[in-house]
Amino acid sequence: MTIAWFLTFNGPEDKRPEMATWFSDNALAAIKGQPGVSKVDVFTAERGSDPFNDDGAGPLLMVQTDFENVTDLEQLLATPGMGAGFLFHPDKLPTGCKVVQGAYQVIDQVVDGQTEVQPRTAALSYAVRYYRPAENEKEFTDFYVAHHPKVEAKFPGIKNIYCYLPIPWENPTATAIEDCMIGNEVVFESLDDFNAAMKSDVRLLMRDDFAKFPNFSGPHTHYAMLRKQVFTV
């Protein structure tokens, strides 16, 4: 099982150009190469075209660190200095910026035309999050995982599909855990391929499936983002 630890940075728009460099210079070294860390990806925002969603410019930066198990994540965060370090102390972040975190089980889905899941090599991700509350959270997430990826798998040019389910874990830091009940990600080679998929009939099928979701009242966000792998074992 893969566990994904997400860090999401938000703040003033004028900080956007420096965030990826700030993370690389100040934070990456404390994460990469630590026991249990299998890879680190950074995501920077793009402006895609989705006919049903426009949620603005998106986070300044999103970072995904993968582990084989949650114990390795908890041990990393319990490392001396981590709790008061670069990621978890407001004075050490760029001025005006904040970070939230989340830990998730990764559910890798098969796309049409394939018989098994494929490695993620394509650069463009559409990162989706659904936040609490739902009338019945388990019913909502079970329905989503069972139905939505089967429709997404039909998108022209799609390379990967992931669902992210929150897991119980010990957070030894003072940084808030995002109130997300499920994440989803569809992956394409390029922004042009993503935009073309959003114009296809499959996007209308997605909307039909959305209308069948069990009742929920929390917000949901959709951001096109470019992924860059900055560490792998």
Domain ranges of the chain: 3-232
Confidence of residue 84 (pLDDT cuts 50, 70, 90): low
H, E, C per residue of 28-88: HHHHCCCCCEEEEEEEEECCCCECCECCCCCCCEEEEEEECCHHHHHHHHCCCCCCCCCCC
What pLDDT shows up at residue 91?
A: 79
What pLDDT shows up at residue 78?
A: 87
- Would you state the CATH architecture of domain 3-232? 2-Layer Sandwich (3.30)
pTM listed for this prediction: 0.95
Residues of the chain above pLDDT 90, percent: 81
Confidence of residue 115 (pLDDT cuts 50, 70, 90): confident
Which stretches of 104-171 are DSSP H helices?
A: 137-152
Q: Are strands 220-232 and 98-109 parallel, antiparallel or unpaired?
A: unpaired
pLDDT average, residue stretch 158-187: 95
Confidence of residue 86 (pLDDT cuts 50, 70, 90): low
- Residue 81 in this model has a pLDDT that exceeds 80: no
**Distance between CA 152 and CA 203 in Å, rounded?**
8
Give the tens place of pLDDT for each residue, 123-158. Answer: 999 999 999 999 999 999 999 999 999 999 999 999
